[in-house]
Amino acid sequence: MPQSAFLRTFLESTPPKNIRLAAAQGLAPLPPSDMLQLLVHLLQDPDPEVAAPAATSIAAWAEDDIVAQAQARDCSALVLDYFAAESSSEVVQEAIILNPSASGKAIAALASRVSAPLLETILYNRVRLIENPQILNGVKNNPAITKPIQVLVQEIEEEFFGSKRTEYVIETPAEEAAVPEEAIGIEEEEPPDDLSLEGLPLDPNEREAALFQRIAAMTVQQRIRLAHLGTREARAILIRDTNKDVARSVLQSPKLTDAEVETFSAMRNVSDDVLRQVGTSKEWIKSYGVVQNLVKNPRTPPMIAQHLLFRLRTRDLSLVVRDRGVPEAVRRNAQRTLAARSAAAQRATK
């Protein structure tokens, strides 16, 4: 939302004291977003007779109203930085952490003092951490840090700031670890003979067990090729592969169907990396079933799930609020989204 001319007058110049004082008392003719930005600005007024009532006016704001402003993508950096440094409310802190517009400075301020669950939320946003390494310093200096979070911080530092780790979770020969892109063979239309799945039993249970065994005997390169070129039943197994390159190759397969993606989005035995890729795809989240599955799936990174909440129908949103299998942060945001929807509906009927 563009700033009003009235607000710009305060930000770009110094109006007379009587006007500044009236604004500090909350009497300015401004929408809530501009009003809050103006009050935070007036906290720095050199005249204590203006700064003091500005502080009193901010203190009178309801927590829900502050949260609503902190969640807005166009919320002023001045406001986000202020509440990141000053607010002790976990819901306000969470709203700032989840706002992609929040500065590295704001998140670093929060990282040094929030609770352990919010530290985990901060660490979900790897892009922000890479761009603002000072956030990790805040996390490490936080008295609430737990041993698992310390381990996670160390992994992030090694992966993104130190010598990058080789991603692997299965036993494979060293020469198979790096697979040249040109060796994948995605230009082929059918699996080559060495990936043939012919001769499998017809009984569904026996067939799946035999398929598992055959895939387990393949090299990483062969599994990647099969993920690209194989059958639907092969993809259903390979999407759960502990090697991320294999699982990613399933999502890149030209044979992959929308129905398969919807199935993958509900699976609790796939990696969070798979669910993150599905949840950030503009094409796949056009499907309501995919969105619903991702929000309900406890394996989905909370940041992804929370960004999809607004797409849910009201009935499904209320089910998420009551679902104890959903992460607490997602349920709390679902509750707030539901409340905001209800308030909007009531205003519309007046």
Domain membership of residue 235 (yes or no) is no
> What pLDDT does 242 receive?
85
| Same structural domain, 152 and 16 | yes
179 vs 260, more confident? 260
Domain membership of residue 188 (yes or no) is no
| Same structural domain, 130 and 267 | no
66: tokens are 């502050």
Q: Is the pLDDT of residue 163 over 60?
A: no
**Amino acid identity of 256?**
L
Give the residue among 347, 346, 305 at the shortest CA–CA distance from 328: 305
| Same structural domain, 10 and 132 | yes
Structurally, how many domains does the chain consist of?
2
DSSP 144: T
Residues, the chain: 350
| Same structural domain, 155 and 302 | no
Express each pLDDT in 171-211 by its tens digit: 333 444 444 444 444 444 444 444 556 666 777 677 778 88
Give the residue among 327, 268, 336 at the shortest CA–CA distance from 124: 327
Which residue matches tokens 């530092």?
Answer: 157
| Same structural domain, 15 and 150 | yes
Express each pLDDT in 278-298 by its tens digit: 998 888 998 999 999 999 999
Pick the last residue of a domain from 161, 182, 197: 161
Please state whether the predicted TM-score (pTM) of the whole model is above 0.85. no
Percentage, residues of the chain above pLDDT 90: 34
Domain membership of residue 315 (yes or no) is yes
> What pLDDT does 208 receive?
76
Express each pLDDT in 216-230 by its tens digit: 888 888 888 888 888
**229 vs 212: CA distance, rounded Å:** 17
CB 270 within 8 A of CB 240: yes
Pick the last residue of a domain from 145, 161, 177: 161
Q: What radius of gyration do the chain's Cα atoms show?
A: 26
Domain membership of residue 141 (yes or no) is yes
Q: Is the pLDDT of residue 59 over 90?
A: yes
Average pLDDT over residues 134-152: 90
**122 vs 98: CA distance, rounded Å:** 8
**Which residues, including other chains, have CB under 8 Å from residue 166's CB and lie 6 or more apart?**
177
Q: Is the pLDDT of residue 100 over 50?
A: yes
Q: Is the pLDDT of residue 32 over 60?
A: yes
Q: Is the pLDDT of residue 80 over 70?
A: yes
Domain membership of residue 247 (yes or no) is no
Q: Is the pLDDT of residue 170 over 50?
A: no
Average pLDDT over residues 66-87: 91
Domain membership of residue 292 (yes or no) is yes
Domain membership of residue 290 (yes or no) is yes
Give the residue among 337, 307, 301 at the shortest CA–CA distance from 319: 337
Pick the last residue of a domain from 133, 161, 189: 161
Instruction: Print the domain residue range for 312.
Output: 257-350
174 vs 334, more confident? 334
Domain membership of residue 58 (yes or no) is yes
**Which residues, including other chains, have CB under 8 Å from residue 314's CB and lie 6 or more apart?**
338, 341
| Same structural domain, 19 and 124 | yes
**Which residues, including other chains, have CB under 8 Å from residue 350's CB and lie 6 or more apart?**
none
